[in-house]
């Protein structure tokens, strides 16, 4: 079981109505992305993070580790945009490099902070959903929203094969390590190639075996999903609606002030 899945099943928010959590995370995500506001992004990040850690019982250190994963990619991608090589220094910073400058502008830095904060807030919305709602419940919500069955079945199968692939790769890596397959860079490279090819072959073989098992159990082209049903509470609906209205009003006020 991967870390996110284990944390999800141990979350204090697991038995909250799945539709409530889905609507809250998706509406908050849409408002945050459409606003492109640093203040709104910080508010969303604090609220979803607090709910995930305090109400869900997710360890703070584990949550911070999960947040740093997209943060690293954001810094790498943003740095390539913010740092320019030019003969003319810009107003934010300028590091001489021969006859050129490694330089950036204040407007570019503000844009980078805005992009990073919006992206982190959006990721926190998705973490709130994935760390509190099992995949079966999410698929049940999508079914209620009349999402095509082909999409939900593909999601279910892909989710299932993540575990199969990880388990197969882990077993092969343990076997290679016990035979000193990673004692040098050359052997590690050969071991990785061998592991990747073996994982592909074994995954295809297991996929065929699983399809044969489904056919033996009268598979008719539809995968039935059993999800737990938890009644919605009016207090939770009221809190979600109140937060979304407050966030929308805040975004409108910030847009109005920026246009003056």
The neighbour count for residue 95, using CB atoms within 10 Å, is 11
Q: Confidence band (pLDDT; 50, 70, 90) for 246?
A: very high
Q: What is the pLDDT of residues 74-112, one digit of tens each?
A: 887 777 777 777 777 777 677 777 777 777 777 777 888
CA–centroid distance for 78 within its chain: 19
Least confident of 25-29, 69-73, 221-225: 221-225
Residue 158 near residue 248 (C-beta atoms within 8 A): no
Q: pLDDT digits over 149-181, tens only?
A: 888 888 888 887 887 787 788 888 888 888 777
Per-domain residue ranges for the chain?
Answer: 1-134+230-260, 135-227
Residue 229 has pLDDT above 80, yes or no: no
Element (H, E) at 96: strand 93-97
Average per-residue pLDDT for the chain:
83
Write the DSSP string, 51-71.
IIIIIT---HHHHHHHHHHHH
Joined together, the tokens standing for residue 4 give 């996110």
Report how far residue 5's alpha carbon sits from residue 17's, in angstroms, rounded to the nearest whole number: 18
In tens, the pLDDT along 15-54 reads 889 899 999 999 999 999 988 888 999 999 999 999 999 9
Cα–Cα distance between 174 and 169 in angstroms, integer? 9
């Amino acid at each position: 079981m991967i870390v996110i899945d284990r944390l999800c099943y141990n979350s204090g928010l697991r038995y909250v109505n799945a539709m409530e959590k889905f609507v809250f995370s998706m509406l908050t995500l849409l408002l945050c992305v459409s606003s492109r506001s640093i203040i709104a992004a910080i508010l969303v990040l604090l609220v979803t993070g607090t709910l995930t850690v305090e109400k869900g019982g997710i360890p703070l250190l584990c949550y911070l580790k999960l947040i740093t994963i997209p943060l690293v990619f954001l810094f790498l991608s943003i740095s390539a945009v913010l740092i320019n090589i030019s003969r003319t220094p810009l107003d934010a910073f300028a590091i001489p490099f021969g006859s050129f400058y490694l330089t950036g502008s204040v407007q570019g830095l503000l844009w980078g902070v805005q992009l990073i904060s919006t992206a982190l807030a959006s990721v926190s919305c998705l973490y709130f959903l994935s760390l509190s709602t099992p995949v079966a419940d999410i698929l049940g919500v999508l079914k209620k929203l009349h999402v095509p069955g082909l999409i939900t079945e593909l999601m279910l199968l892909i989710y299932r094969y993540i575990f199969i692939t990880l388990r197969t790769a882990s077993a092969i890596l343990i076997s290679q390590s016990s035979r000193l397959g990673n004692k040098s860079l050359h052997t590690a490279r050969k071991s990785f190639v061998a592991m990747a090819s073996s994982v592909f072959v074994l995954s295809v073989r297991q996929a065929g075996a699983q399809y044969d098992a489904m056919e033996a159990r009268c598979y008719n082209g539809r995968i039935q999903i059993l999800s737990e049903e938890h009644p919605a509470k009016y207090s939770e609906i009221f809190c979600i609606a109140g937060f979304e209205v407050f966030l929308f009003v805040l975004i409108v006020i910030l847009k109005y002030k920026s246009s003056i």
